[in-house]
Structure 1
Amino acid sequence: MDVLVVDDELVSRHIAAQTLEAAGYNVRRAVNGREALDILLGSSIELVICDWNMPEMDGLEVCRHLRSGTIERYIYMILLTGNDRPEDIIMGLQAGADEFLVKPFNPVELVLRVNIGRRIIEQESRAITVFALARLAESRDFETGGHLKRVSQYCRVLAEYLRFSNAFDGQLDADFVRMVAETSPLHDIGKVAIPDFILRKPGPLTVDEFAVMKTHTVQGAGALAETAAEFPNASFLQMAQEIALYHHEKFDGSGYPFGLAGEDIPLAARIVALADAYDAITSKRSYKEAIDPDRARSLIVSDSGAHFDPRVVNAFLAMEDEFRVIHESFPPAAISGGGLRSNQLLSV
């Protein structure tokens, strides 16, 4: 992530920059507020560490410029200051500062506060991007909204269980759980590129139609890759791309688009695969009735090791009651098309 350090004192500026570079950040430097604004206008930097007291334009003025709409994007502002009186803090907050750090600062504290700012920026970017793209998918499929909510919650339940199991040797943490739940609604974003006569067909797809339908994985990943290029700090889009591209791969290698198998399929995609299939099985469509949860359970279990990762199936069995609660909380609606076909129940 790119960070801008603004300080007229050479030593302080150098220490802050070196500390953040050692923590993995790309750091640009400015000696006053005017130079900082010029850099921000010509870059995509979203996090600034700025000294309060500087010549030409001080930190408060920089904050006011940023909050006045001079720059359209939101920039997270950490103000470096020797002014730690309550009235000074209030003045800084009124100007638009997000956080304060008293000089001389502790390098460890600096990194921790920047890390907090980065997480806030990423969380906001993730929420905005997922919402916008998911609504795009929803506009093509009237049932997608409820489907996305259920799949997101199913993924959260599965990932949370797997996090505390021994199945994946610490591969999952709280960030993974949150990210897979938040990005899973983008799994079918590629369907916006599928013609309506296929997407909403109220019956089985022909071989040729199914071949077109399968391209939604590559189409979706491509669209997310383009979005990631425009928003390089939105690291969550990497997981979103993996989910979109690989959620129809099968554990035994018989899925699409690449026929990956086992551990070659990203874990997030393996989790979404089960969540997506369960929701399709238990949802009513114009060409099929909803299958009851007991029968859905049997179908999932019968595909353990074939379609699904057995460890994800075990998590499903352990948390099946939670799945039923989610299903009842966001009841599916009958629609005229979209979703899985009866002769391709776990394939689309």
Structure 2
Amino acid sequence: MQVLIAEDDRSSSIVLQGVLGALGYDVLAATDGQTAWELLRDNDCRIVISDWQMPRMDGLELCRRVRARDVGCYVYFILLTSRSGSHNLVEGLQAGADDFVTKPFDAEELRVRMKSAERVVSLESRDLIIFTLAKLAESRDPETGAHLERVREYVRILCKRLQDDKACRGKIDQDFIQLMYLSSPLHDIGKVGIPDNVLLKPGRLTDEEMDCMREHTVIGGTTLDAALASHPSASFLRVASEIAWTHHERYDGRGYPNGLAGKDIPLSGRIMALADVYDALTTKRVYKDAMSHETAREILLEGRGTQFDPAVVDAFLAGESDFLRIKKMLQDSEPLAPQATPALAPTAS
């Protein structure tokens, strides 16, 4: 990760560069604020350590300019200062600083603060990459609209409602909810491996084509398992893998790809299954009109205990008004008119 140092004191700058270099960072250095600003515009620096007082542009003005940029990624800003007092802290925070390091700085303190900065930057990058990958896979099907945006909101609603369910107590906390929200857009990532003549077919799929379509769960699950093997501490990959493998399993064991039943299906997959089907039912495609919320509700109720976990259906009923709010807020613009030949039913893909 590239770090920019803005420090006019040569000795302090050399020490900073040495400490950060030993920690594995790629360091750029400037001796005044204006030069630092120019370096920042020409390089991908996600962390800035700036002295407060510098020639040509001070640290506060540099921080304000960083915050005024609209470049789509967050820059973590640490002010390096010998100033004390709450009024200076307030002034720095108002300029947009994330953290402060007091001069003369302690190397171990700087290391800890850099790790905190890296976590913030890495989390933003991770979330952006995950959703970008999911949207890239989804882009092969131009009719999906805001599917990913809606589904992750539906998933969050279900998770929050399930917190009150006795069977889910101790299994759903804020961390689980965040992981579900983060990972759920990857549920259909395996569709990148499905041929266009199957994925984009406007008519009903043959049995052979249906078998091919169902392989998206295996492709997605296997791909995410490989990523998890390389990064075993990445819990979002574990949840994403569970979802990719199991969001088409059924509670009665008649789903795919492995015919899992009941609680053998991970909770993440049981939640995703309902959110995915509800969105498929209530959105328009070239091969079908959108069903009303009321009709979709009846289908979900009919599937309680067969297709869907009863507790998840109950969570849907408890959060029904929230589903309607999200559906209205993130509704798609009108797609193409329906074709004469009906395609695959939304609950079977």
User: Normalising by structure 1, what TM-score?
Assistant: 0.68
Aligned residue identity for 1:346: T
Instruction: Say whether the 8 Å CA contact 1:134–1:186 is kept in structure 2.
Output: yes
CA–CA separation in structure 1 for the residues paired with 2:41 and 2:221: 33
2:305 corresponding residue in structure 1: 305
Where do 5+ consecutive residues of structure 2 fail to align?
1-14, 30-35, 48-75, 104-108
Q: Distance in 2 between matches of 1:140 and 1:335?
A: 16
Partner of 2:24: 40
Report the CA distance between 1:209 and its aligned residue.
Answer: 0.5
SS of residue matched to 1:158: helix
Is it true that 1:209 corresponds to 2:193 in the alignment? no
Q: Is the 8 A contact 1:252 1:306 kept in 2?
A: yes
Partner of 2:130: 130
Map of 2:335 onto structure 1: 334
Counterpart for residue 259 of structure 1: 259
Whether contact under 8 Å (1:188, 1:217) holds in the other structure is yes
The yes-or-no answer on 1:325 pairing with 2:304 is no
In the alignment, the residues of structure 2 paired with residue 279 and residue 329 of structure 1 have an alpha-carbon distance, to the nearest angstrom, of 13
- Alpha-carbon RMSD across the aligned residues, in angstroms, is 4.6
Deviations 1:151-184 (A, max 9, x none): 1111111111112443401211122222212321
Residue equivalent to 2:182: 182
Q: Note if contact 2:165-2:311 (Cα within 8 Å) is conserved in structure 1.
A: no
2:158 paired residue number:
158
SS at match of 1:346: helix
CA contact (8 A) 2:202 2:287 kept: yes
Q: 1:86 to 1:169 in 2, by over 3 A?
A: closer
Partner of residue 173, structure 1:
173
Q: Distance in 2 between matches of 1:221 and 1:186?
A: 10
Aligned to 1:249: 249
* C-alpha separation in 2, matches of 1:203 and 1:138: 19
Q: Name 2:277's counterpart in structure 1.
A: 277
C-alpha distance in structure 1 between counterparts of 2:304 and 2:116, whole Å: 40
Shift of 1:314: 0.2
Moved more, 238-247 or 216-225: 216-225
Establish whether residue 347 from structure 1 lines up as the match of residue 331 from structure 2.
no
CA contact (8 A) 1:202 1:336 kept: no
Displacement of 1:128 in angstroms is: 1.4
**Cα pair 1:304 1:310 within 8 Å, conserved:** yes
Shift of 1:330: 2.1
Deviation at 1:83, TM superposition (A): 7.7
Instruction: Tell me the amino acid that sits aligned with residue 40 of structure 1.
Output: G
Change (3 A) 1:203 1:162: same
Asked if 2 retains the 8 angstrom alpha-carbon contact of 1:130 and 1:186, the reply is yes
Correspondence for 2:55: none
State the Cα deviation string for residues 27-57 of structure 1 (Å, max 9, x = none): xxxx985365255159xxxxxxxxxxxxxx9
Distance 2:337 2:247 in 1: 24
Q: 1:164 to 1:122 in 2, by over 3 A?
A: farther
CA distance in 2, matches of 1:82, 1:260: 62
- Per the alignment, residue 193 of structure 2 pairs with 193
- 1:237-276 CA distances to partner (integer Å, 9 max, x unpaired)? 2212221121111112211111122222221221111000
Distance 1:284 1:160, change over 3 A: same
Matches within 5 A, 1:67-78: 74=46
Question: In 2, Cα distance between the equivalents of 1:227 and 1:72?
Answer: 26
Alignment-derived partner of residue 240 in structure 1: 240
Question: Structure 1 residues 276, 201: closer, same or farther in 2, change over 3 A?
Answer: same
- 1:260 counterpart SS class: coil
Matches within 5 A, 1:74-89: 74=46
AA in 2 matched with 1:299: I
Structure 1 residue 280: Cα displacement: 0.8
Q: Shift of residue 233 of structure 1?
A: 6.4
Structural mapping, 1:96-115, within 5 Å: 98-100=98-100
Change over 3 Å in CA distance of 1:101–1:222 after alignment to 2: farther
8 Å CA contact retained: 1:41, 1:71: no
Return the TM-score normalized by structure 2.
0.68
Distance 1:101 1:235 in 2: 32
Query: Does structure 2 conserve the Cα–Cα contact (< 8 Å) formed by 1:137 and 1:144?
Result: no
Distance 1:87 1:261 in 2: 61
Q: Give the superposition deviation at 1:292.
A: 1.6
Counterparts in 2 of 1:72 and 1:226: CA distance versus 1, 3 Å: farther
Q: Residues 346 and 70 from structure 1, CA distance in 2 versus in 1: closer, same or farther, beyond 3 angstroms? A: same
Q: Does the C-alpha gap of structure 1 residues 83 and 153 become closer, same or farther in structure 2, counting only changes over 3 Å? A: same
Most deviating of 229-238 and 279-288: 229-238
Distance 1:41 1:121, change over 3 A: closer
CA distance in structure 2 between the partners assigned to 1:211 and 1:225 by the alignment: 22
Distance (Å, rounded) in 1 between the aligned partners of 2:114 and 2:19: 21
Q: Secondary structure at the match of 1:305?
A: coil
